[in-house]
Structure 1
Amino acid sequence: MVTQNKIPIIIDIPKEEALAFDTHIREYRNKYISSSDKIVELVFNTNKKEYLELINSKKASEFINVLRESAWQEFLKEEVEFNAKLMRDLHKLIHTPREILNILVNNNIVEKQGDELFESIKELCGEYAGRIFPYLYKLSLSNTQSRRSRAGKTFEAIIYKVYDLLDYKFDSQGKVGRKIFDEVGLGKKVDSILPGINEFNKRRNKTIIGTMKTSLRERWQEVAEEIERTKIPEIHLLTADEDISSSKASEMSKHNIVVVTFDWVSDSIKLKSSKNIISFEEYLFDEIPAIFEYWK
């Protein structure tokens, strides 16, 4: 193997290259990873009959859980392709990885054949990966952040898919724009309103104001602050979080937060007596229809 002093040793990525790499990560991610809406639609259409049977049987919790898991697996597959394509092209995009690769190739591949070539390629791959590790680490951090954002967007896309399947009219920030929500005094914590903004302006206590969070932890307090700021009567917090304590449920109840979750969570022994913890089934097939009946 080539001696170490001939190969650049990278501990921290040079500033200009770090900025360029960030740009390439965004570009490649946008190019090779589909939006949450598209992935949810793709997965739904792949097993359309099965998903429609779940909704028609009012098994909303199962529908959301299965579609969410399938959409996540599809995203991970696309992320693998994104990682591979970006790292394949890294030497074309960034100077230092190109310099490292050129030195390794010239010293280990040229004029070699057969088993010797095979062994050299294996050694080169390991050496190259180790030498450019700061770039791999930066990509890993970016992927971690992207996954957190993606989980929330996928959950939101699934809920909106359910609304569409049940023919429920709604306005979301993604549909009508953040500005429209700001104009009626609602901040970024509110994701949607059923039936919509017009109905909210006429009689807000006859609408369903919704926010979505895959994980509650302490973030539900942001929702409580939004209720206090906007003076809305209550908010429905839709979540995929299955770890909800009775004490947290009680605290959220004091802030007029109705938590919508899987039926096996809402029906659990520790939460069954919490009136502000309801299932997706109760929310979709009881509460929303009651609101829509009023506007008829």
Structure 2
Amino acid sequence: MELELYKAFVKQQREEYFSKDKPYDLIYRQFEKGDFTKQSEDYFLSNASEVIDVLRRESWHEFQTKEHQFTSKMLSSLYSESDIEKMSSSEAIAWFVEKFPMHIYSLNLSNTQSRRSRAGKEFEAIIELILIGADIPMDSQGNIGKKFFIDKGLGKLVDIVSPGSVEYVLNKRDTILISAKTTLRERWQEVPEEMGRTGAREMFLVTLDDNISKEVIENLNDANIQVVTTKSLKEKKYSAYNSVISFEKLLAILKETAVKWTDFNYSDESKAEIVKNVEKQIEKHSSHPFVVDYYQRYLHKFQ
């Protein structure tokens, strides 16, 4: 198979192979397996970091098994039994590597890129489920849509806004913006630039990166961006930095912010938009009962 045809074939096969195992579905399945759907609000407020670690570990193990199967299938598609039937095992391996080096490289590159994309989406799903478990109101870009967030002035790098996008328009100072990145690399520079466009006073950057330099941490802090990570990473890597906080601390801040809106007098127009956003999220999560129950409870506050 010609290389370009093989690339297209791998892409098409990947979409089919993983179509029933989207990132959110994989995380939600692990969330259920870990019995986190049965935990209390206080549990998530106190143990969010542990939940993150468990979901990341278990989802990776499950995905890794499926990716290995996919890789084997894609490599096997490059040859037939008649090609190697007269060769010894070592001869067959040498022949395969010599004949398809660029095909093998292309598949490995495709796997890496797909894995990175999935990791980001899975991380966002983990954060969303923890916020739901902690009974924290929010709008998620993944549910409502990037265009909607951009139209509201939230920007493309904001993944979650709490209590919601309507509140953000009404009073930016009493809302929390969250951006999630498993690793920062050079992309951290995009976050201050994006925050400058939103007009927000601060942003929280949630990450699992264990190698953030002192310079990056200080630059982010100067831009009113707080790095958020798990308790274990905070203690092992960033204990010297007050501007790096644990996920549990972020949840406490989110709770305090949500209280400010308890007795807010929303206009009928604002209520209607909130209801519309919540219904959109309920529809998107129709196969995730824990999420649906949360949004239905939240919906009653505005009906």
Q: Verify same fold: TM over 0.5.
A: yes
Q: Does 1:84 align with 2:72?
A: yes
Identity %: 35
Q: Which residue of 2 aligns with 1:75?
A: 63
Cα distance in 2 between the residues matched to 1:215 and 1:184: 27
**Structure 1: any 5+ residue segments left out of the alignment?**
1-12, 92-97, 109-118
* 8 Å Cα contact 2:154/2:198 also seen in 1: yes
Q: Does 1:27 align with 2:12?
A: yes
* 8 Å Cα contact 2:137/2:162 also seen in 1: yes
Q: Which amino acid aligns with 1:279?
A: S
Q: Which residue of 2 aligns with 1:10?
A: none
* Partner secondary structure for residue 169 of structure 1: coil
Deviation at 1:199, TM superposition (A): 0.9
Structure scoring higher RCO (CA < 8 A, sep ≥ 6) equals: 2
Cα distance in 2 between the residues matched to 1:210 and 1:197: 12
* Partner secondary structure for residue 59 of structure 1: helix
Q: RMSD between aligned alpha carbons?
A: 2.6
* 8 Å Cα contact 1:259/1:277 also seen in 2: yes
Against the structure 1 CA distance between its residues 173 and 18, is the aligned structure 2 distance closer, same or farther, given a 3 Å change threshold?
farther
Q: Which residue of 1 aligns with 2:268?
A: none
Q: Does 1:244 align with 2:212?
A: yes
Cα distance in 2 between the residues matched to 1:149 and 1:270: 26
Deviation at 1:242, TM superposition (A): 2.3
Q: Which residue of 2 aligns with 1:167?
A: 135
Against the structure 1 CA distance between its residues 253 and 25, is the aligned structure 2 distance closer, same or farther, given a 3 Å change threshold?
same
**1:212-251 correspondence to structure 2 within 5 Å:** 212-251=180-219
Q: Which amino acid aligns with 2:257?
A: I
Normalised TM-score (structure 2): 0.76
Q: Does 1:279 align with 2:246?
A: yes
Q: Does 1:206 align with 2:174?
A: yes
* 8 Å Cα contact 2:45/2:134 also seen in 1: no
Cα distance in 2 between the residues matched to 1:167 and 1:155: 19
Q: Which residue of 2 aligns with 1:38?
A: 25
1:160-207: CA deviation from partner (whole Å, max 9, x where unpaired):
121222232321221111111121123211111112111111111111
The alignment of Structure 1 onto Structure 2 pairs a total of residues equal to 259
Q: Which amino acid aligns with 1:181?
A: F
Cα distance in 2 between the residues matched to 1:124 and 1:244: 45
| Greater radius of gyration (CA) | 1
Q: Which residue of 2 aligns with 1:195?
A: 163
Normalised TM-score (structure 1): 0.78
1:77-123: CA deviation from partner (whole Å, max 9, x where unpaired):
110011122223345xxxxxx6xx65544xx2xxxxxxxxxx64664
Deviation at 1:272, TM superposition (A): 4.3
Q: Which residue of 2 aligns with 1:95?
A: none
Deviation at 1:282, TM superposition (A): 0.8
Cα distance in 2 between the residues matched to 1:47 and 1:269: 27
Cα distance in 2 between the residues matched to 1:180 and 1:50: 29
* Partner secondary structure for residue 185 of structure 1: coil
